[in-house]
Structure 1
Amino acid sequence: MKMHFISSGTDSADAALRVLESRYGQTPPEQAEVIVALGGDGLMLSVMHRGNDLPVYGMNRGTIGFLMNEYDAVNLPERIAAAEETVINPLAMTAEARTGEIFRGLAINEVAMLRAGSQAARLRISIDGRVRMEDLVCDGVILSTPAGSTAYNYSANGPILPIGSDVLALTPIAAFRPRRWRGAILPKGATVRFDVVEPDKRPVMADADSRGVSSVLWVEVRSEDAVRHRLLFDPGHGLEERLIREQFV
């Protein structure tokens, strides 16, 4: 099996890289059959954002490693051959800044609208062209994929979504008005638009997987089904199992 190894650059990841290269060799990415990522979830997201069509098998050399498999240098080709594949579609974000510039980006986990000043944000939320919430006063709001639902979304008390479900989670961050609003579950095919109310007085930034755009006027988000990220997991330890297990700890 032709494998291309990538390290996150930490001491433990670099040490694992040297071990695996000495045992299995290093194949250039354009000739490889699979990418083996050594690090944490941040590295996995970075590898997927590079847009390579190859499947990615991650091994945890970081901290949490939700998207990673357990590290073991033994029988790696056999483990990869037996791995289960999960396909993830990212979110496509289009945002207009107050300067008039248009920004576009992809988010595997979530797109977040976050207040960028001392006052709470005011947002108008539309779904498929229909205004669903005229005025949300909050610190921010998150639109999350199933894969990202255990990350920032879960920390903001959003729901964990099963992998493969055709839904997205819309979750407020510290909602002030309406105070009791806890978010919504939306169809995967929905186009979600956030308009910033009082952008001069209450600036808001948009963030797609930690790629930020400051002082936006509006943001539109939809699922980008044309982009497919292929993740490999050891049998019995795939994302679906991890998402279920996460809810019982």
Structure 2
Amino acid sequence: MTRIAFVASEIGPARDALCELSERYGNVPLEEAEVIVALGGDGLMLQTLHGTMHLDVPVYGMNRGTVGFMMNGFDAENLLERLAEAEETVIHPLHMTAETPDGKLHEALAINEVSLLRAGPQAAKLKITVAGRVRMEELVCDGALLSTPAGSTAYNYSAHGPILPIGSDVLALTAIAPFRPRRWRGALLPMNATVRFDVLEADKRPVRADADSRPVQSVVAVEIRSEPHVRRRLLFDPGHGLEERLIREQFI
């Protein structure tokens, strides 16, 4: 891989790395690249994955941000060798269709998760339907989310949801601060399941939907399914891929 497109976040270390690496290896337009190298943190990685959905090009991240869970370590040396030896992980996003009170449908893809969050002072009330069958008539909560394996260590984990192995064909449905049922901790669902949330008392208890932090305000219903026809290719240094990171995270 010699045709590299570099992208970087706006923070100083990322911009400095962009200048250094572009001078060393060149920097081609995204449409001409064999590989995209993202310089920043996990936010920049998600931004890059969303912004290049139309390109079947692998993305190799180097951490110039904070956590960098989806990134490799930064080193300006031997980049071509690292790219040649990198291991590929393919992930599939979630597809969200959110309905607002005016009847409009808003669609978006999410690499990590789709979340529903209360947008007012009162708790949300959600009805949950899985594969056409109502599974919970009323969940009173601050919100709920559906997470992919790749996103299971992000918001899902912060909400006490399970970490999912990267190769597992399951999604994590996790409640956010549930009040009723008080002890409900969520569910593991098949990857091909369609999950629907209906917002109860939507006027009194407004809810917004987020697909990887891309918000739709005041939703009345949200339907989520996996999108197997869209794939995003991530590259990791050998022995440091998502599978290893997800396992390691459970022993910290």
Q: TM-score, normalised by structure 2?
A: 0.98
User: For 2:98, what is the secondary structure of its paired residue?
Assistant: strand
Other-structure match for 1:220? 223
Other-structure match for 2:29? 28
Other-structure match for 1:202? 205
Report the count of equivalent residues. 249
Counterpart amino acid of 1:73? A
User: For 1:100, what is the secondary structure of its paired residue?
Assistant: coil
* Equivalent position to 1:80, from 75, 79, 83: 83
* Structure 1: unaligned runs, 5 residues or longer: none
The Cα shift of 1:30 comes to 1.5
The Cα shift of 1:66 comes to 0.3
The Cα shift of 1:171 comes to 0.4
- Single out whichever of 151-160 and 24-33 deviates more from structure 2: 24-33
Task: Describe the superposition over 1:61-97 as per-residue Cα deviations: whole angstroms up to 9, x where unpaired.
Answer: 0000000000001110110010000001000000101
User: For 2:220, what is the secondary structure of its paired residue?
Assistant: strand
Task: Describe the superposition over 1:184-229 as per-residue Cα deviations: whole angstroms up to 9, x where unpaired.
Answer: 0000000000000100111111110000011111000000000000
User: For 2:19, what is the secondary structure of its paired residue?
Assistant: helix
Other-structure match for 2:47? 46
How far apart, CA to CA, are the structure 2 residues paired with 1:113 and 1:25? 42
How far apart, CA to CA, are the structure 2 residues paired with 1:110 and 1:143? 6
Runs of 4+ in 1 over 4 A off after TM superposition: none
How far apart, CA to CA, are the structure 2 residues paired with 1:58 and 1:221? 28
* Structure 2: unaligned runs, 5 residues or longer: none
The Cα shift of 1:53 comes to 1.5
The Cα shift of 1:98 comes to 1.3
User: For 1:37, what is the secondary structure of its paired residue?
Assistant: strand
Q: TM-score, normalised by structure 1?
A: 0.99
The Cα shift of 1:101 comes to 1.4
How far apart, CA to CA, are the structure 1 residues paired with 2:29 and 2:222? 38
How far apart, CA to CA, are the structure 2 residues paired with 1:121 and 1:46? 29
User: For 1:81, what is the secondary structure of its paired residue?
Assistant: helix
The Cα shift of 1:54 comes to 0.6
* Equivalent position to 1:111, from 106, 110, 114: 114
Other-structure match for 1:97? 100
Other-structure match for 2:11? 10
Counterpart amino acid of 1:41? D
* Equivalent position to 1:137, from 136, 140, 157: 140
The Cα shift of 1:27 comes to 1.3
Q: Does 1:56 pair with 2:59?
A: yes
